[in-house]
């Protein structure tokens, strides 16, 4: 793959290594943040043009250390093009972006984690369609599916940026080896393993935690989406997400029950925390801990679980903790995975805004950001070797593999009334004891008629 994009690819890598050297220099010397301004190879950024006094505001959900890495990854772009980036990250992004757009203080660029939210903003007429330049770049670097996530009613608005892979099942390799447990390759094997572990009685097979403030319940939607995609294939999955089939279609009910067989069984959950209902009060970021403490064997969570382990935990196939992909139900059907990602929508069409939007959609950016660690991208121009961990590398390879069936997290695609509300609360009620039929019916009823 890499050899195809000869020029376009080699230059950024060169630029990157120079900038990394520059960074290293900074680290040792202290606060000289402008260090390397003369050295940074600006050739890679020529195509974006140069600007004077240009500032672009960017708003997203990304905060903390990941925000720092993000800012780091456009530092060279800023230096070479003169585009200053005013970045703001907030956990209240999902509600605030709508407030600001309506109030007339929208940022220039917003990084949307949910295509559903992006679509709502585009339909309300706030977003500017992406310029041809960005569109071409996305055609070149991304699959059609990804371009579609940023397309609303036939108009292409938002370029994809970063991605994550959902459906990993985390486990401790040493424990599996010691007990003689095999990593399952089909869902049935996973169920058998679950029974085995529960039968041995030493630890619960699973631990889970769905608590996430007002978003409580979302890790459960991931479970269900994984099951739907694997059990009924991408077509049914798409129909379900777009409401071509009702939310409580018998096939979807089946998938709920498939997950329920594991999650709603006190024998199988919730190692280290208590009974089934303790899933609801366990913060999702802490839910994996018992895996390390040998209180449970497996924990289902996306690739970003890697940052939730305590500092110093070695995530590797022979390390403290590792993950396998939730196995297919029928191994012959190949790999199908769900995941999430971010899309860059523009509220302004000034040239410098479009330049940054283009850069964020480019392979150069993907490489620069992935090299910082803790993130992956589905950009085809991304060099898997830049990944900072085995898991990142594995995830990138999965995303880039043409045989992989990839589907975006369904709840992020559904309308907000479902995907960010009734689906979550449905999962909560379901774990709290309501029947699958009851829950899926309630969610179906909440689907907005349009």
Partner 1 sequence: MLVVDRAPKSGREKVQIAGFLAPALILLAVGLVFPALQTSYLSLTGRNGEFVGLDNFVWMFTQPEALVTLRNTVIWVVLVPLLASSIGLAYAVFIDRARGEKALKALVFMPMAISFVGAGIIWRFVYAYKGPEQDQIGLFNQILVWFGQEPKQFLLDAPENTLFLIAVMIWIQTGFAMVVLSAAIKGIPTEIVEAARLDGASAWQQFRNITIPTIRGSLIVVVTTITIGTLKVFDIVRTMTAGQYETSVVANEMYTQAFRAGEPGRGAALALILFLMVLPVVVYNARLLRKQKEIR
Partner 2 sequence: MSTLPLENKDLLPDVKDDSTGGRPTMQKRVRQRLTSRTATAAAVVIAVIWTIPTFGLFISSFRPEDNIKGNGWWNVFTDREFTLENYADVLSPGGSQSPNLLSYFVNSLAIVIPGTIFTLVLGSMAAYMFAWGRFRGKDGLFIFVFALQIVPLQMALIPLLQLFTRVLAIGDFQLLPSGTYAQLWVAHTIFGLPLAIFLLHNFIAEIPGEVIEAARVDGAGHSTIFWRIIVPLATPALASFGIFQFLWLWNDLLVALVFSGGGADVAPITQRLAELQGSRGGEWQRLTAGAFVSMIIPLAVFFGLQRYFVRGLLAGGLKG
The answer to the question of residue 403 lying near partner 2 (CB under 8 A) is: no
Instruction: Show contacts of 227-231: CB within 8 Å, 24+ apart.
Output: 227/187, 227/255, 227/256, 227/258, 227/259, 228/252, 228/255, 228/410, 229/336, 229/337, 229/338, 229/405, 229/407, 230/187, 230/326, 230/327, 230/328, 230/329, 230/333, 230/336, 231/187, 231/255, 231/258, 231/329
Give whichever of 310 and 402 is closer to partner 2, judged by the CB atom: 310
Q: At closest approach, how far in Å is the CB of 429 from partner 2?
A: 22
- Site residues (CB under 8 A) for partner 2, limited to 49-88: 59, 61-68, 71-72, 86, 88
204: its two tokens = 């619960």
The answer to the question of residue 20 lying near partner 2 (CB under 8 A) is: no
The answer to the question of residue 105 lying near partner 1 (CB under 8 A) is: no
**In the stretch 194-213, what mask flags binding to partner 2 with x, by CB under 8 A?**
------------------xx
The answer to the question of residue 438 lying near partner 1 (CB under 8 A) is: no
Report how far apart, in Å, the C-alpha atoms of 155 and of each of 84, 88, 130, 158 are.
Answer: 28, 27, 8, 9
Q: Which among 228, 231, 250 is positioned nearest to 241, based on CA atoms? A: 228
- CB 158: neighbour CB atoms within 10 A? 31
300: its two tokens = 């289902």
List of residues 6+ apart from 419 with CB closer than 8 A: 114, 116, 221, 410, 411, 412, 413
The answer to the question of residue 307 lying near partner 2 (CB under 8 A) is: yes
Q: Can you spell out the DSSP letters for 275-297?
A: STTHHHHSBTTTTTHHHHTTSEE
Report how far apart, in Å, the C-alpha atoms of 246 and of each of 339, 345, 442 are.
Answer: 22, 30, 11
Rule CB under 8 A: choose which of 270, 357, 379, 436 binds partner 1.
270
Q: Which of partner 1, partner 2, none is residue 67 near (CB under 5 to 8 Å by kind)?
A: partner 2
Q: Which of partner 2, partner 1, none is residue 6 near (CB under 5 to 8 Å by kind)?
A: none
- Site residues (CB under 8 A) for partner 2, limited to 147-166: none
The answer to the question of residue 281 lying near partner 1 (CB under 8 A) is: yes
Q: Which of partner 2, partner 1, none is residue 63 near (CB under 5 to 8 Å by kind)?
A: partner 2
Task: Let me know: does 165 contact 395? Beta carbons within 8 Å.
Answer: yes
Query: What does DSSP assign to residue 47?
Result: G
Rule CB under 8 A: choose which of 94, 140, 238, 444 binds partner 1.
94
Q: Which of partner 1, partner 2, none is residue 61 near (CB under 5 to 8 Å by kind)?
A: partner 2
The answer to the question of residue 402 lying near partner 2 (CB under 8 A) is: no
- Positive or negative, the CA dihedral 294, 297, 301, 302 is positive
The answer to the question of residue 432 lying near partner 1 (CB under 8 A) is: yes
Rule CB under 8 A: choose which of 70, 109, 120, 375 binds partner 1.
120
List of residues 6+ apart from 155 with CB closer than 8 A: 122, 129
Rule CB under 8 A: choose which of 280, 291, 363, 398 binds partner 1.
280
Rule CB under 8 A: choose which of 20, 75, 183, 215 binds partner 1.
215
List of residues 6+ apart from 222 with CB closer than 8 A: 166, 167, 300, 301, 302, 338, 409
Q: Which of partner 1, partner 2, none is residue 280 near (CB under 5 to 8 Å by kind)?
A: partner 1
Candidates 76-84, 282-290, 329-337, 391-399 — which segment interacts with partner 2 by CB under 8 A?
A: 282-290
**In the stretch 309-348, what mask flags binding to partner 2 with x, by CB under 8 A?**
-x--------------------------------------
Q: Which of partner 2, partner 1, none is residue 284 near (CB under 5 to 8 Å by kind)?
A: partner 2
The answer to the question of residue 281 lying near partner 2 (CB under 8 A) is: no
Task: Let me know: does 187 contact 327? Beta carbons within 8 Å.
Answer: yes
Q: Which of partner 2, partner 1, none is residue 91 near (CB under 5 to 8 Å by kind)?
A: partner 2
The answer to the question of residue 100 lying near partner 1 (CB under 8 A) is: no
Phi-psi region of 289 (alpha: psi -120 to 50; beta: other; left: phi over 0): alpha
CA dihedral 43, 341, 231, 334 (to 10 degrees): 10
The answer to the question of residue 34 lying near partner 2 (CB under 8 A) is: no
Strand-pair partners of 337: 406
Strand-pair partners of 57: 86
Q: Is 151 helix (H, G, I), strand (E, B) or coil?
A: strand
Which residues would be at the binding site for partner 1 (CB under 8 A)?
94-95, 98-99, 120, 213-217, 270, 272-275, 277-278, 280-281, 415-417, 420-422, 425, 428-429, 432, 448, 450
Which residues would be at the binding site for partner 2 (CB under 8 A)?
31, 33, 59, 61-68, 71-72, 86, 88-92, 96, 99-100, 102-105, 212-213, 283-286, 289, 304, 307-308, 310
């Amino acid at each position: 793959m890499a050899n195809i994009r000869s020029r376009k690819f080699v230059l950024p890598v060169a630029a990157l290594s120079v900038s990394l050297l520059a960074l290293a220099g900074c680290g040792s010397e202290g606060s000289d943040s402008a260090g390397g301004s003369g050295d940074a190879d600006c050739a890679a950024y020529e195509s974006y043009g140069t600007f004077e006094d240009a500032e672009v505001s960017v708003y997203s959900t990304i905060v903390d250390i990941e925000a720092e890495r993000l800012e780091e990854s456009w530092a060279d772009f800023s230096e070479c093009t003169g585009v200053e980036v005013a970045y703001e990250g907030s956990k209240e992004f999902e509600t605030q972006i709508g407030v600001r757009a309506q109030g007339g203080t929208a940022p220039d660029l917003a990084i949307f984690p949910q295509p559903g939210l992006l679509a709502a903003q585009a339909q309300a007429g706030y977003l500017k369609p992406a310029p041809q330049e960005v569109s071409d770049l996305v055609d070149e670097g991304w699959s059609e599916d990804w371009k579609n996530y940023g397309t609303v009613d036939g108009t292409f608005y938002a370029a994809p940026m970063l991605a994550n892979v959902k459906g990993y099942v985390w486990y401790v390799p040493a424990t599996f080896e010691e007990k003689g447990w095999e990593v399952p390759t089909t869902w049935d094997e996973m169920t058998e393993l679950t029974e085995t572990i529960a039968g041995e009685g030493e630890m619960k097979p699973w631990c889970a935690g769905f608590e996430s403030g007002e978003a409580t319940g979302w890790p459960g939607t991931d479970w269900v989406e994984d099951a739907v995609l694997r059990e009924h294939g991408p077509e049914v999955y798409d129909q379900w997400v777009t409401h071509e089939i009702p939310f409580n279609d018998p096939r979807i009910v089946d998938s709920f029950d498939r997950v329920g067989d594991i999650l709603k069984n006190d024998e199988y959950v919730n190692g280290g925390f208590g009974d089934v209902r303790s899933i609801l009060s366990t913060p999702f970021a802490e839910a994996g801990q018992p895996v390390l403490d040998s209180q449970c064997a497996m924990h289902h969570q996306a690739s970003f679980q890697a940052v939730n382990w305590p500092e110093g935990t070695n995530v590797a196939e022979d390390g403290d903790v590792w993950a396998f992909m939730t196995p297919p139900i029928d191994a012959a059907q190949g790999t199908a995975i769900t995941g999430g990602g971010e899309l860059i929508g523009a509220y302004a069409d000034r040239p410098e805004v479009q330049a940054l939007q283009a850069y964020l959609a480019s392979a150069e950016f993907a490489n620069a950001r992935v090299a910082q660690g803790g993130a992956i991208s589905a950009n085809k121009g991304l060099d898997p070797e830049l990944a900072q961990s085995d898991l990142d590398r594995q995830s990138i390879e999965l995303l880039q593999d043409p045989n992989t069936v990839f589907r975006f997290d369904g709840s992020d695609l559904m309308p907000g009334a479902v995907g960010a509300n009734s689906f979550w609360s449905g999962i909560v009620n379901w774990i709290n004891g309501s029947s699958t039929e009851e829950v899926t019916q309630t969610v179906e009823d909440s689907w907005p008629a349009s």
